[in-house]
Structure 1
Amino acid sequence: MIVVTSPTGNIGSQVVAGLLNAGAPVRVVVRDPARLAAGVAERVEVVRGSHSDPAVVAEAFAGADAVFWLVPAGHAAPSVDAAYSGFARPGIEAFREQGVGRVVGVSALGRGTAVSGQAGYVTATLAMDDLIAASGVPYRALTMPSFMDNTLRQAGPIKAQGVFYGPSLPGLAVPTVATRDIAAVAVRLLLDGTWTGFDEVPVLGPEDLSFDRMAAIISDVLGREVRYQQIPGDAFKARMMGNGMSEAMAQGLLDMAVAKNNGLDQGVTRTPEAGTPTTFREWCTEILKPAVDA
């Protein structure tokens, strides 16, 4: 039995689909089963609730050969530590108590870099990884840069204004990865019962791109000019708080962006094993363009 947390999210839903396509038995932890993809509820076991709830994870992880672990965005959390380690502690205890065979989790690049201790969400994520590893459960932390799919959040401004925004440096080339490739790596590891211990697995995408270069690719795919505009950090933080984030979480998001500007995602060399196939141009053609056109 393989348990998937956050099965309605962008990554989790694709992990569920990949496991079902492989014929694996799947159990999901979900607050609202109605949000599962069409046809999924009939093919999986459903444990209703949050994977921050001790009773829920005790039920969900019982007899689990493997768990896909993803902490949902806790935009209203009082601190980044509460959003990650605080959320995860009941699940980590259940890994040990229920004898879970192995865990594959969504993490981030940056361990060992000079800025990893001041990187907001990433600092908190790496601390959570340490707690999971200390539990003794075999653990693979998928360490990723920013997701191509994050650009979908700005489909509106791209369509209406021909611009997308952020605090990132426009000319700094960094790795970026498609969530479907993350899900594919997760599925492979979840189905593989041979690995033990703790390790990080970088998932880097096929190429490094600057935001200016991304804008040029988007322009080419959409057939009209689109540009990237860097915005000041304080304006970015205010915008995030205006969208409902707590001040601590908005600051954590800004701290992560600043750390990325200072090399957070550039501490791992891309290898054939760490690279993934989907290029940004392919992703724009298959995912972004239909969203903008709609």
Structure 2
Amino acid sequence: MTVAVTGASGQLGRLVVESLLKDGNQQVVAVVRDPAKVADLAERGVEIRVASYDDPEALERAFAGVQRVLLVSGNEFSKRVDQHANVLHAAENAGVELLAYTSIPQAQANPMILAQEHTGTEAVLAEAKIPTTLLRNSWYWENYTGGLAHTVESGVLYGAARDGKVSGASRVDYADAAARVLTTDGHAGKVYELGGDTHSYAELAQVISEVSGKPVRYQDLPEDDYAAALAGAGLDAGYAAVLADADTGIADGVLTVDTGDLERLLGRPVTPAADVFRAALS
């Protein structure tokens, strides 16, 4: 069997390829825009095919002879629904047997800004001519590691999530789950709500304290103030607003996932936040 991963040079896509290589029972195709970024994968036997989400013909060529495709959601906001539709239609034309898509929890009722294009993509996939699987990934613990050293230094984890809780897991966990869907049967038509351990931000601050050995507390801010603080720290104002809006989503419970789907797909426990934070600090 041949499986393809789009966006295979990205953080999640590359990890999915790595997971597939560990399984070793299928030919792996990495679909990328820049083959130089995955030259090491080519040396390990991965077939590299070049295509962007904006090029339907190149996508169809990339999926030739492929049975299963993972569509890793793109990162060009405002363009993603059309781009994802291009991937779907190319997969249909190429005779792909299953397409899995990385979405967001409760996509059809999720009010977060980040969810909007996932909602639109899922509407496109609902009309697909081939079987699909929705992998509704919740938060990655890695989302908090970019500024982790500063959080430890300042002793304060800032956010706008109030006492809401977020169900997170490591990026590797989500990658392994996607690889499982690509390499086993019984997933056509399934919707998986994926999330791991559940923590409030106050609890995450305590986890950071434990792994760093330094006291860290959670400071809650109004959404607009948090967005302004993020912009003041150098983030693009639009992106800062999206992140602050995501925290409001956490406050409202839309990233709390208690289905157990992730552990069932993995066949193992999820990675604790402490392990991800400890690795980042080391």
Please tell me whether residue 94 in structure 1 is matched to residue 59 in structure 2: no
Deviations for 1:231-252, whole angstroms, at most 9, x for unmatched residues?
Answer: 332244343595236x3x5544
1:3 aligns to what?
4
Q: What does 1:1-294 correspond to in 2, within 5 Å?
A: 1-23=2-24, 24-36=26-38, 39-42=40-43, 43-74=45-76, 77=77, 82-111=78-107, 113=109, 116=110, 118-169=111-162, 171-196=163-188, 198-205=189-196, 207-238=197-228, 239=230, 242-244=234-236, 247=238, 251-266=241-256, 269-270=259-260, 273=264, 277-280=269-272, 283-285=273-275, 287-293=276-282
Verify the 8 A CA contact 1:157 1:164 in the aligned structure 2: no
Q: What secondary structure does 2:190 align onto? A: strand
Structure 1 residue 69: Cα displacement: 0.8
Given that 1:159 and 1:292 are in contact with CA atoms closer than 8 Å, whether structure 2 keeps it comes out as no
Tell whether the 8 Å contact from 2:195 to 2:257 is kept in structure 1 after alignment.
Answer: no
Q: Deviations over 1:151-205 (max 9, x none)?
A: 1121231243233333222x22331122111111111110124443x22112221
Instruction: Quote how far apart the aligned CAs of 1:270 are.
Output: 4.1
- When structure 1 is superposed on structure 2, of 126-135 and 259-268 the one drifting more is 259-268
Q: How many residues align?
A: 275
Unaligned 5+ segments in structure 2 are: none
Alignment check: 8 A CA contact 2:177 2:265 kept: no
Q: Distance in 2 between matches of 1:95 and 1:39?
A: 26
State the alpha-carbon separation in 2 of the partners of residues 136 and 240 from structure 1: 43
**Structure 1: which amino acid aligns with 2:215?**
E
Query: Match of 2:264, as an amino acid?
Result: E
**SS at the partner of 1:73?**
coil
**In structure 2, C-alpha distance between the alignment counterparts of 1:100 and 1:192, rounded to whole Å:** 15
- CA deviations 1:35-76 (Å, max 9, x no partner) are 33x7312221112242332232112112210111112322xx
The code of the aligned residue for 2:120 comes to A
> Alignment RMSD, CA only?
2.6
The secondary structure found in structure 2 opposite 1:51 is coil
Equivalent position amino acid for 1:13 in 2: R
TM-score, normalised relative to structure 1: 0.82
Residue ranges of structure 1 left out of the alignment (5+ in a row): none
Q: Percent identity?
A: 25
- Maintained 8 Å contact 2:97/2:131: yes
Q: How far did 1:27 drift?
A: 0.9
User: What TM-score do you get using the length of structure 2 for normalisation?
Assistant: 0.86
- Indicate the larger mover: 223-232 or 185-194: 223-232
Distance (Å, rounded) in 2 between the aligned partners of 1:111 and 1:290: 31
What is the DSSP-based 3-state SS (H/G/I as helix, E as strand, rest coil) of the residue aligned with 1:153? coil
Q: Structure 2 vs 1, CA of residues 255 and 224 (structure 1 numbering), >3 Å: closer, same or farther?
A: closer
Rate the CA distance shift 1:35–1:86 in 2: closer, same or farther, 3 A: same
